[in-house]
């Protein structure tokens, strides 16, 4: 893709991450192959449907589907060939989402917290692909925290997406490592631990482009998705989103959209 240069691209999306799930089952529901002949096409002659995947089986209203839509829109507008993309994920609901976009790309669902290592190995084997890592707050800020940090420090050529909501939804609402200090659980328990700020860590470790956005703000989020492919070096994007169906916690502060960029390259 024109403008893509070696480096790590990390995108942090507040979403839902279900830590502790072994063996995530991907959806078997296929979308109808029929599409309207008048759908608009990009420079490659592809429509939006060519960038979609299977039908999402996530909970109704889950912000992960909004993040998926942003990725589809960005790849369509940038005229990226789907077969040139490799999607690597870990474990959790966030790591199921690669099944819902770029159905004609390469993909691998790895183990909990080890997505960066698997992606690094794939990158060493084939440097011609565009690598997209998808993870969650448990996958990257807890069991995979060291892998998150070292993949940025080493400057692996990748885009790293973290879908973060600060709570382990499927395991019934425990605070994750990114939960705001002072957040209150559904049972009234207050989080007394300080949150890990993955954006600040990415900046400190030399990420070239870092973005934080909110899943309901589609325009800024889509712009961030497009800018990550044009930035030089390592990039981070974090998206915040509440857990719709199992909203176990009340944030200590509003989930605002912020954008940060670091121009340092190595």
List the pLDDT tens digit at each of the 266 positions of the chain.
444 445 555 555 554 444 333 333 444 566 777 778 888 999 999 999 999 998 888 888 888 888 899 899 999 999 999 999 999 999 888 888 999 999 999 999 999 999 999 999 999 999 999 999 999 888 899 999 999 999 999 888 889 999 887 888 667 778 889 988 998 887 888 999 999 999 999 999 988 888 888 766 555 445 555 555 554 445 555 555 554 444 444 444 433 323 333 333 33
Q: Which helix (DSSP H) or strand (DSSP E) does residue 138 occupy?
A: helix 137-141
Residue 246: per-residue pLDDT: 42
Between helices 218-228 and 63-77, what is the axis angle to 10°? 50
Residue 130: per-residue pLDDT: 93
CB 178 within 8 A of CB 204: no
Q: Identify which of 33, 171, 151 has the alpha carbon closest to the alpha carbon of residue 103.
A: 33
Residue 147: per-residue pLDDT: 93
Residue 73: per-residue pLDDT: 92
Contacts of 147 (CB under 8 A, 6+ apart): 113, 114, 115, 116, 117, 140
C-alpha 112/C-alpha 121 separation (Å) is 16
C-alpha 79/C-alpha 138 separation (Å) is 32
Give the CA-trace dihedral at 25, 107, 95, 115, to 10 degrees: 120
C-alpha 85/C-alpha 157 separation (Å) is 12
Residue 173: per-residue pLDDT: 75
Residue 31, Cβ neighbours under 10 Å: how many? 13
Residue 186: per-residue pLDDT: 78
């Amino acid at each position: 893709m024109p403008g893509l240069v070696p480096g790590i691209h990390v995108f942090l999306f507040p979403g839902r991450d279900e830590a502790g799930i072994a063996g995530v089952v991907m959806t078997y529901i296929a979308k109808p192959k029929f599409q309207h002949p008048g759908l608009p096409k990009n420079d490659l002659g592809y429509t939006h449907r060519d960038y979609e995947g299977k039908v999402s089986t996530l909970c109704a209203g889950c912000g992960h589907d909004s993040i998926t839509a942003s990725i589809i829109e960005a790849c369509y507008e940038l005229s990226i060939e789907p077969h040139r993309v490799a999607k690597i994920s870990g474990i959790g609901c966030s790591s199921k989402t690669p099944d819902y976009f770029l159905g004609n790309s390469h993909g691998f669902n790895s183990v909990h917290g080890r997505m960066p290592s698997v992606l690094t190995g794939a990158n060493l084997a084939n440097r011609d692909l565009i690598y997209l890592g998808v993870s969650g707050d448990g996958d990257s800020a807890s069991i995979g925290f060291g892998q998150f940090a070292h993949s940025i420090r080493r400057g692996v050529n990748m885009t790293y997406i973290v879908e973060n909501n600060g709570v382990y939804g499927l395991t019934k609402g425990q605070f994750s490592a990114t939960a705001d200090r002072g957040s209150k659980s559904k049972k009234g328990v207050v989080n007394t631990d300080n949150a890990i700020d993955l954006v600040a860590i990415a900046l400190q470790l030399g990420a070239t482009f870092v973005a934080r956005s909110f899943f309901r703000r589609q325009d800024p989020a889509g712009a961030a998705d497009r800018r990550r492919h044009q930035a030089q070096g390592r990039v981070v994007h974090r998206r915040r989103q509440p857990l719709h169906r199992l909203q176990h916690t009340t944030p200590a502060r509003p989930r605002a959209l912020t954008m940060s960029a670091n121009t340092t390259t190595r």
